[in-house]
A and B are shown apart, each in its own frame.
Chain A
Amino acid sequence: MDFELYEIIQAFGDGLMKGSTYALMGIGFTLIFGVMQKINMSFAAVSISGAYASLAASILFPEVHVFVVFGASIIFSGMIGYFVYLCCFKWIPLANPLATLMATIGMLFFLEEVVVHATNGMPLPYPAMPFDEYFEFGQYSVRGDLVLIFFMCLIATAVLMYLLYRTRLGIATRAVAQQPIAARLSGISIEKTNAGTFIITGLLGGLAGAMIASTVSVLSVLFFLPVTVKGLIVAVIGGLGSIPGAIVAGLLVGGIEEVALLLRGILERDIYIMVLLFLFLTLRPGGIFSKTFQRN
């Protein structure tokens, strides 16, 4: 099948915009890794569960504005994030990464199952964002709500950066990440800091979950595993620990995915993302913005 150049550019653009949601997921994974040197496999589950919880709220208060629902998602995810911290990180010795990895996998299963029980597995409609339509520019069209999400992504990043570099919690977080012993000696409570990190990533996750749900305007339990995998891949390609990396990687993965779909079809689409990941792993294992190389 022949495609004109503008169609390819259009597909790349569509994918790029879709990639903002991937970026948000990637940021969440990468932040936890950056601070605690751990992967929280349940992060995507936390985000989606928060979105579901916000749906419950919107059913109780049907006249409420869409942004309030998103806000509810953020808050609920923050709470669930703290719950995950309690179950998987607070009491398990931090020196045991295998146990925390397994525990967060357990949380992923648990959260998914709670949602399945609550909804009987049925997909539920989720409110869409404003500008949920296409704006035409000559041959090209852009989805308004995706552009909005892209800007939200930038704002969220800016807020995060501010938190990390300008507030006490942020400084404490970075101190704990870089030098836990020195941090403790300076009186920083590692527990409180880690808990804070989880809550903050939970909040971010709630935003991500709400955004993902609103772009397709349906919430389904089918999201849990694929969103987790996608977020992890984006975080790794961007460089674990690098927030700007996660953004660039998210957009890149989105764009490449859409072009691969257009040119090569659905069966091969995901293979190209795996290939992209492998290329990075073999040539540039630290990711796009690698801080240090991680070689054997």
Chain B
Amino acid sequence: MEFYLGLIQIFGVHTIIGLSAYVILLTGQVTMAQAGLVSVGAYASAMLTAMYGWHIVPSVLVGGAAGMVMAVLVGFPALRVKGLIFVIATLAFGEFIRLFWFNFIFQVERGGELVGPNSSDGFRMIRYFPENGWSTWGVAAFIWFWAIIIMAAIWWMDRSRAGSVLRAVGEDEVAAQSVGINLTAVKVSAFAASGLIAGVAGSLYAHYTTHIEQENFTVLLATFAIAYPLLGGLRNIWGTLIAVIFIQGILTEVLRFMGDWRNLLYGILIVLAMNFRPHGLIDANLTDRLKRMFGLRKSSNDART
């Protein structure tokens, strides 16, 4: 049972990571900075709980806020470019943050031991959950508490004008500008939201693995962050969730019997998925059909989400 609860924890954290990239992907840009933003939330909240004895909830909030601030900081210069140069810019930014943690040493003494980030040694003993007697089920519920709030927020935003504005910018910037949408404001807001979500993900990540180091936050994590929404589809948040369950659940655990062939499958499946379903697993057509099946939409003429 512990094992399944542990998996549910992983699903939760990775869904939040994927959603942080989702909001930026909606505006039509591909971001490779998520690993860096996640790391900011991770280190910030871990320092608060492990070094200063904060309670976990304000730590997660501060982690999110730190991610948001960092995202806006990178947002402004990166917004001067777009398209593929933006991808490289965000990738470099993510790496820059990781290199910062590579150098960062800041430790205090707690209970006779030095605790805190220690350059490439990493930051260990982030044991808020076990030290306070949280069960695996409790941690899973806590993680999903945040995941559900974030999913609900994005879902609600998508049904409101904000969602249409974001997607409009994503579809056609020139047209969006011509109807009076302030591109910079929209993009910076998307960045801020993405940073906040990534920061929350990082805080949870740090606490459920109890040890973080710069090696956890490389380009590989950034790639997975965008892979979840791209594979799942940008039509709605469910695609990201399903992609996470597919990759972390089915590929990693169900196919465990395939042993070392699993890693090969990652690459093959991504290539196949992009060839057969370039708009993701859950794209507009599938959403339409599912809705008609469940009677949520009377006819195919019904235009809204």
Contact = CB atoms under 8 A, between A and B. Distances in A.
Contact of B271 (A93, A103, A232, A233): A103
Chain B, interface SS category: helix
A139 interface: no
Contacts of A106: 266-271, 273-274
A175 B95 CA distance: 37
A88 interface: yes
B183 A296 contact: yes
B78 interface: yes
A286 to B, nearest CB: 8
A271 B267 contact: no
Interface string B59-101: 0000000000000000001111111110111011101100110
Contacts of B271: 87-88, 103, 106-107, 110
Contacts of B299: none
Given A39-B84, A93-B278, A114-B264, A105 B270 contact: yes
B25 interface: yes
Interface residues of B, number: 49
Interface string A126-138: 0000000000000
Interface stretch (B134-142, B147-155, B192-200, B223-231): B223-231
Nearest to A266: B102
A45 to B, nearest CB: 10
A96 interface: yes
Interface in B192-232: 218-220, 223, 226-227, 230-231
B88 to A, nearest CB: 4
A285 B80 contact: yes
A109 B266 contact: yes
A236 interface: yes
Interface of A: 33, 37-39, 87-88, 91-93, 96, 98-103, 105-114, 116-117, 225, 229, 232-233, 235-236, 240, 267-268, 270-271, 274-275, 277-278, 281-282, 285, 294-296
Interface of B: 25, 30, 77-85, 87-89, 91-93, 95-96, 99-100, 102-103, 119, 183-184, 187, 218-220, 223, 226-227, 230-231, 260, 263-264, 266-271, 273-275, 278-279
9 contacts: A98-B30, A99-B278, A102-B227, A105-B223, A105-B227, A106-B270, A108-B267, A116-B263, A277-B92
